[in-house]
Chains A and B, each alone.
Chain A
Amino acid sequence: MGEQKDTTQEFEEALKWLSQEKYVLRLFVAGMNPKSLQSIENIKRICETYLAGRYQLEVIDVYQQPILAKDGQIVAAPTLVKELPPPLRKLVGSMSDTERVLVGMDLHIVMAGTVDHPAETKTQKQKDDGAVL
C-alpha cells in the first residue's frame, strides 16, 4: 500500500515540477508564407493554453539569418526547437496537429490536469509579435 502511495506522490511531484518548468522555444520559419503564419499562430495558442507564463518563444526567419539555420541544424520549415527543458526536440510543420505538438513538447502528461490562464496571454503575445516583426 505504502508503495502505491509513494508512486502517486512521485507522480504528483513530477506533475508539479513539470507544470512549473520554464520552456525555451525557438520557431524557425522561412519567410512569412501561409505555413509560417499558421505555425506562429498555432504555437502561440498552444503555449498560451498550456504554458502560460512559463515559456519563452523566439521566432526566427531563416531567410534573414541563414547562419542560425546551420547552427540550429534546421532542415525543414517551419521547425520549432524545444531547447529547454531537455531533451532537445524538433517539431516540424504548421503546428496544426495540437496533440502531436504536445507529444513533442512532453506536455501530453499534464494536458488533462492543466487549466487555462487567459489572463497572462496578452503581454506574452505582444512580446512574441515583437520578435516576429
Chain B
Amino acid sequence: MTEANTADINSASLEKSPTGINGLDEITDGGLPKGRPTLIAGSAGSGKTLISMQFLAQGALKYDEPGVFVAFEENAKELTTNFASLGIDLNDLTARKKILIDYIYIDSSEIEETGEYDLEGLFIRLGSAIDSIGAKRVVLDTIEVLFAGFKNYAILRSELRRLFRYLKSKGVTAIVTGERGDNTLTRFGLEEYVADCVILLDNRMEQQIATRRMRIVKYRGSKHGTNEYPFLIEEDGISVLPITSLGLEHIATKERISSGIKRLDNMLDGKGYFRGSSILISGTAGSGKTSFAANFVDAACRRNERCVYFAFEESPSQISRNMSSIGIDFNSWINAGLLQIHSSRPMAYGLEMHLLDMRKIIDKFQPENVIIDPISNLTNVGTENDVKFMLTRLIDYLKIKGITTLSTSLMDNEADGQAGQGISSLMDTWIRLRMFEEGDERNRGLSVVKSRGMAHSNQIREYLITDQGIKLKDVYLGQTGGLLMGSIRAAEEAREKAETLVQQQENERRKRELEKRLRSLDTQIAALRSEFETDENELNRIIGEEELRREAADKGRTDMARLRKADSLLKGS
C-alpha cells in the first residue's frame, strides 16, 4: 500500500524509503526521506534502537536494501541477543551480508586530547562498512556518545555537520538517534544538523500506566501526520496506531440480526439490530448487562456466526458458569469453535496494548460479532480523552470490518444520563437498563434510548432474568398511568386473572341459567304443541261430525221432498 502511495507521488517530489513498520509508513506518507538522514529523539527506553533496527531489518528483508548499524552503546552480540527476542535474527542477516553491525567503543577515560583532530576514523569505518555490503540504509545509535568521549565540542560539531553531509553524499537513508534533552529535542542539539525529518518518541506515565507515543516534529518536503500517535513494542516489533488510518467510510448494510430476545427485537422495529452496527447496553450494577450480551452471543452462535467476547471483569469460566444459570451454554459454543472469551484486567497494560491486542485477536479469529464487557472499565486505564480516542478507533475499526459490536457500560447512578466516556455518540443503538425501586423492591426496566435508522419502541419495559434467558414482560399501567413492575405488576396480573376468573364463573352461571330457562321453555313449547294438536284434532272432529250431520240432514230433507214432490224441487229442475 505504502509502495503504491509512493509510486503515486510524481517523480519531482521527495522519494521515500519505506520503514515496513506497521503504521509508521502511514503517518510519514510512505516512509523516511530517501537518501537523507532522519533524527529519532527520545528518552531512555523509548524505543529508538528498536525502531532503527526494525528499519534496517525490514529494509534488508522486504525492500532489498542492506543496512549498516553503527552501534555506540551495545556491541553486536548484545544487539543480536536483544533482537532475537523481537523476532529479528541478526546472526542470519549479518551472515547473508544484509546487515552489518559496527560497534564503536568510546571510553573517555582512555582518551587524551593532545591537539587538533577530526573524526576521519569514524568516516572511514562508516564508508568501508557501507561499501562492503552496498548499504542503502544506515543507523547511528546513538551518536551522542561522541560527546561523552571527546571534550572539544567545537570540533565535534563541525565534524557532525560534515558527517551528515557525508551521509547525504553517500545517498544512504540514515537514522540518527539522540537522547531527549531537557529543553531541546536532543541533549546535544542534534536537531540542528538534521533538517529533513525529526521523529520524537515518548514514553509517558499517566495514572501509573505507561503509553508510548510518537510524533513527527518535522518532515521537510512531505505531508505527514501531525498528531501524537501511540505505538506499541511487542514480540514482533513496533506497531504504530494512527487514528487517521481509520475513518467514517464503512458500508452500512440493511441486514438485521436478532438481539437474542424476541420481544426486544419487536421493540427494535420488529427485526433487531443492524448488522455491523455498534450497540451499547448501559446500566447500573446488577442490571443484567452481561446477560443481555450473553443472549446476543447465544443467538449469534445459533446463526452459526463467530463471536469474540472481551471480558474485563470476569474470567472465561466465571462467565460460562454464570451464564449457564440463565440457560445459556457458552461452553458448547466455545467447543464448537464459534466463541472465544478473552479476559484481562484493564489495568494489566495500557490502552494501546488493549486495542492492539483486541485487533490482533479479531484479525485472527475473524468474528462476525464482538462483545466488550464492560467498555466502561477501560476508563481506569487512561484519561477520558485517551479512552475516547481508543474507543473511537476500535469502533471505527470494527465497523470497517462489518462486525457487530455489543458493548456494555456500567453507570454509577440511575440519574446519570451519560453512558460514560461520552461514547454514546459512537453507538448506533443504545439500550438503557434501569433499576426501579418501589414498594420495597428493585425491579429492572429497559428502554431503547436510541437506535439509528429504525422506528424503535419508546416504551419502558420490565424484564426478568429467568433460567431461560431474559424475558420481557407485558406492560401494566397503574391507575395513574405509571408502569407497574415487580410484585405490583404481579399483583395486578393476579388481580386481573382473578377478575377474569370471576367474570368467567359468572358468565357460566348465567349461561347455565339461561340454558335451563330455554330448556324449560322448550318443554313448555312441547306441551303447548301437544295441547294444540289435541285441540286441533278435537276441532277437526267436531267439524267433521257437523258435516256429516248436515249432509244427513240435507239428504233427509231431499228425500222427504222427493216423496212429497215438493214445489221447490220442481222449480229447481
Query: Which residues of chain B are near A103, meaning CB under 8 Å?
Result: 112
User: A79 to chain B: which residues have CB within 8 Å?
Assistant: 117, 121
Minimum Cβ distance to chain B for residue A29 (Å): 9
Q: A26 contacts which chain B residues (CB < 8 A)?
A: none
Kindly specify which of A9-17, A51-59, A87-95, A116-124 makes contact with the partner chain. A87-95
Q: How far is the CA of A78 from the CA of B117 in the complex (A)?
A: 6
A77, B114: Cβ atoms under 8 Å? no
Contacts of A78 in B (CB 8 A): 117
User: In the complex, which residue of chain A has the Cβ closest to the Cβ of B105?
Assistant: A73
Q: A28-B121, A30-B120, A74-B121 in contact; A92/B114 too (CB < 8 A)?
A: yes
Contact of B125 among A35, A70, A90, A96 (CB under 8 A): A70
- B residues less than 8 Å from A35 (CB atoms): 116-118
Would you call B120 and A92 a contact (CB within 8 A)? no
Report the bound CA distance from A40 to B491 in whole Å.
110
Q: Of A42, A69, A95, A101, which one neighbours B121 at CB under 8 angstroms?
A: A69
- Given A69-B125, A92-B150; A75-B116 close (CB under 8 Å): no
Asked whether B570 is an interface residue with its Cβ less than 8 Å from the other chain, the reply is: no
A76 x B120 contact (CB < 8 A): yes
Residues of chain B contacted by A67 (CB below 8 angstroms): 128
The residue that A39 contacts in the complex, of B106, B110, B113, B115, with Cβ under 8 A, is B115
Query: Does A100 sit within 8 A of B, measured CB to CB?
Result: yes
Contact with A along B425-469 (1 / 0, CB 8 A): 000000000000000000000000000000000000000000000
What's the nearest-Cβ distance from chain B to residue A72, in Å? 8
Contact A95 B115 (CB under 8 A): yes
B114 touches A91 (CB 8 A): yes
Query: Which residues of B are found within 8 Å of A28, using beta-carbon distances?
Result: 121
Task: Tell me, yes or no, whether A6 is within 8 Å of chain B by CB.
Answer: no
Q: Does B122 contact A (CB under 8 A)?
A: yes
Q: Is B102 an interface residue (CB 8 A)?
A: yes
Check if B119 is an interface residue, CB within 8 A of chain A: yes
Q: Is B124 in contact with chain A by the CB < 8 A criterion?
A: yes
B415 interface residue, CB < 8 Å from A? Answer: no
Q: Cβ of B110 and Cβ of A87 under 8 Å apart? A: yes
Asked if B114 and A62 sit within 8 Å, CB to CB, the answer is no
Proximity string of chain B (71-113) to chain A, C-beta cutoff 8 Å, 1 when within and 0 when not:
0000000000000000000000000000000101110001111
**C-alpha spacing A96/B116, complex, angstroms:** 8
- Residue A66 at the B interface, CB < 8 A? yes
Given the interface contacts A30-B118, A93-B116, A93-B117, does A66 sit within 8 Å of B125 by beta carbon? yes
Closest residue of B by beta carbon distance from A62: B124
Query: Is the C-beta of B149 less than 8 angstroms from some C-beta in chain A?
Result: yes
B111 x A90 contact (CB < 8 A): yes
Q: Quick one: CB contact mask for B128-153 with A, threshold 8 Å, 1 for yes?
A: 10000000000000000010011000
Q: Are B120 and A62 in contact (CB under 8 A)?
A: yes
Contact (Cβ within 8 A) B110 A90: yes
The number of chain A residues touching the other chain, given as a range, is 35 or more
Bound CA span A80–B121, Å:
12
Q: How far is the CA of A74 from the CA of B499 in the complex (A)?
A: 104
Least Cβ–Cβ distance between B128 and chain A, in angstroms: 4
Q: Are B127 and A93 in contact (CB under 8 A)?
A: no
A39 vs B128: C-alpha distance when bound (angstroms): 24
Q: Cα distance A101–B119 when bound, in Å?
A: 19
Q: In the complex, what distance in Å separates the CA atom of A101 from the CA atom of B105?
A: 21
Q: What's the Cα separation between A96 and B125 when bound, in Å?
A: 26
Q: In the assembled complex, which residues on chain A have CB atoms less than 8 Å from the CB atom of B102? A: 70
In the complex, A60→B146 CA distance in Å?
Answer: 23
Chain A contacts for B122, CB-based, 8 A: 75-76
Contacts of A30 in B (CB 8 A): 118, 120-121, 123-124
Task: Write out the residue numbers on chain B whose beta carbons fall within 8 Å of the beta carbon of A90.
Answer: 110-112
In the complex, which of the residues A31, A77, A94, A104 contacts B112, with contact meaning CB atoms closer than 8 Å?
A104
Cα-based distance from A62 to B117 in the complex (angstroms): 14
CA of A92 to CA of B150 in the docked complex: distance in angstroms?
9
Chain B stretch 445-500: residues in CB contact (< 8 A) with chain A = none
Indicate the member of A28, A38, A76, A78 with the most B CB atoms within 10 Å: A76
Q: Which residue of A lies closest to B111 (CB)?
A: A90
Q: Is A97 an interface residue, CB under 8 A from the partner?
A: yes
In contact, A95 and B110 (Cβ under 8 angstroms): no
CB nearest to A98 among chain B residues: B114
* Chain A residues whose CB sits within 8 angstroms of the CB of B114 once the complex forms: 80, 91-97, 100-101, 104
Q: How far is the CB of A101 from chain B (nearest CB, A)?
A: 5
Report A25 CB to chain B, min CB distance, Å.
Answer: 13
Closest A residue to B127 by beta carbon equals A66
B110 touches A69 (CB 8 A): no
Known: A66-B127, A66-B128, A89-B110. A77 touches B119 (CB 8 A): yes
Contact between A74 and B125 (Cβ–Cβ < 8 Å)?
A: yes
Residue numbers in A under 8 Å from B127 (CB-CB): 66
Interface residues of A in 19-53 (CB under 8 A from B): 28, 30-31, 35, 38-39, 42
Give 15 CB contacts A-B under 8 Å. Answer: A38-B115, A62-B120, A74-B125, A75-B104, A75-B119, A75-B149, A76-B118, A76-B120, A80-B114, A92-B112, A92-B117, A96-B114, A97-B115, A101-B114, A104-B114
**Shortest 7 CB-CB contacts between residues of A and residues of B:** A104-B112, A30-B120, A93-B115, A94-B115, A74-B121, A66-B128, A77-B120
- Known: A35-B117, A75-B119; 13 extra A-B contacts, CB below 8 A, are A30-B120, A30-B121, A70-B125, A73-B106, A87-B110, A89-B110, A91-B113, A92-B150, A94-B116, A97-B114, A100-B114, A100-B115, A101-B114
